[in-house]
Amino acid sequence: LVHVALLAIGLEPGHPVQFDPEYAPAEGPAVDVRLRWKDADGAEREARAGDWIRNAETGKPLDVDFIFAGSVFWTDPLDGKEYYQADGGDLICVSNFPTATLDIPIESSQSNDALLFEVFEGRVPPRGTPVEIILAPAPPAAP
């Protein structure tokens, strides 16, 4: 559904990250990912998703746009049914997965012992807080 919704707002997928024969980052249109929730006082809050993600090396928030890579479809050779690989859970990723719908255009390991990004403690609401995810075309980059 998310893939179709992104198509409906005029975005066309690029391609997912590639590792073979060598690394090539995900490409596609930039997507603004925003998060909306209510704080403990009931006030509506909104943040850029990247502000909830901390670069473990620099201590700074994620500073690149998410990219509509588009994931991939796989056809089961036994029955010919087609499966959208992002349905496996790789919807919005900060570790590179070739099955991601939205990825980041920089190299970021999926190995647990080499993760580049982590939760930005103190910026994320308490566990269990309902959060809406808002996806829109990213505004053009400043010249």
Task: Tell whether 100 is covered by a domain.
Answer: yes
Q: Domain count of the chain? A: 1
Range of the domain at 46: 2-137
Q: What percentage of the chain carries pLDDT values higher than 70?
A: 95
Q: What is the pLDDT of residue 85?
A: 85
Closest to 54 measured CA to CA, from 122, 127, 134, 133:
122
Q: What is the pLDDT of residues 35-46, one digit of tens each?
A: 999 999 999 999
Burial of 125 (0-12, 13-18, 19+ CB in 10 A): middle
Task: Tell whether 142 is covered by a domain.
Answer: no
50 CB contacts (<8 Å, ≥6 apart)?
33, 61, 62, 63, 64
Averaged over 8-34, what is the pLDDT? Answer: 94
Task: Tell whether 143 is covered by a domain.
Answer: no
Task: Tell whether 83 is covered by a domain.
Answer: yes
Task: Tell whether 18 is covered by a domain.
Answer: yes
